[in-house]
Amino acid sequence: MNTFFKACFTAASILGASVAHAADTVRFAVTDIDGMEALQREMGPFKEAFEKASGLSVEFFPVSGRTIAVEAMAADQVDFVLTGPAEYVVFNARLKAQPVVVWNRPDYYSKVVVLDQSPYQTVADLKGTKISLGEIGSTSQHLAPATLLADGGLEYGRDYEPVFLKRNVAVEAMIAGDIAAIGMNKGHMDKIVKSFPDQKFRALVDGPDLPMDLLLVSATVPAEIVDIVRRTFAEKSADLLAAVTSVDDNAKYIGGSFTTDVNDKDYDLVRKMYATVGVTEFMTFLE
């Protein structure tokens, strides 16, 4: 009998250790980093700094895009996801995922850009033209520029034809006269100015600062783990930001910060942007 109870106690101890280990490990994905190799390269320094600061272990979960990430969370394969504001709205609608930490980046706002020598002086002048809105479903390339155009009096899909071209391809098309304007963010504008030094560009309209990228959490993660993550970002912000920005691929966060006081309502603006392009249900990503 004693041997039986000893065996049961040993088994319970092993199970308890296993559960404790699982509770101390958070599974982490990034929607715009494709594959494990890139995830380790771009987020490895952050992982190391976060583990040291929090006492938690981070297990990378590579994904090949936002759809795979949301399906992985639905299957309880991932706990935390770093993603964009438009993507967050879908995670929240489908899975009740909640925002934990905002990853602020400087100069994150959208523009509608034309060639400097073009005749277009106002948004209204673009009526009847083709306009590239970059990546479909993107906050800064699609939803926000479409909203800027709507605010200028142009109804999406009726007063102009939206097309979705890679940024450099769109610039070439604009130079050739095939499209009239491009929706992009300020960082993209800086890049095309460098990539096309013989051309001059002009922002027809600038938008306000956009809702930022954020770290969201699955509804199944215990509150105490969420609290540890949030507290770590609040108390070790400088260390974590230095680790993130030590990688060239994360240069967009240089000069940024983290905000832990965040709630779902902060992203209602993105829901309004979705409505501009005719979307009022947020259960799937725009394709």
State the CATH class of domain 109-209: alpha beta
Distance CA 104, CA 253 (A): 7
pLDDT of amino acid 192: 97
Q: How confident is the model at residue 287, as a pLDDT?
A: 82
Q: pLDDT at position 19, please?
A: 38
Q: What pLDDT band is residue 97 in, cutting at 50, 70 and 90?
A: very high
Query: Which residue reads 């215990």 in tokens?
Result: 222
Tokens representing 177 are 């006269």
Residues of the chain with CATH 3.40.190.10: 2-105+211-276, 109-209
The pLDDT score that the predictor gives to residue 12 is 38
Q: What is the pLDDT of residue 4?
A: 37
Kind plus residue range of the DSSP H or E element containing 204: strand 201-209
Tokens at residue 16, please?
């308890």
CATH superfamily of 2-105+211-276: Periplasmic binding protein-like II (3.40.190.10)
Mean pLDDT on 38-57: 98
Considering the chain, what is the average pLDDT of its residues?
92
pLDDT mean over 192-196: 97
Token couple for 260: 């832990």
Average pLDDT estimate for 232-255: 97
What is the DSSP pairing of strand 130-132 with strand 181-185?
A: parallel
Tell me: pLDDT of 118 over 60: yes
Amino acid found at 128: G
pLDDT at 23: 57
Kindly state the average pLDDT of the residues 36-47. Answer: 98
Mean pLDDT of 68-82: 97
Per the model's pLDDT, the better-predicted residue between 73 and 24 turns out to be 73
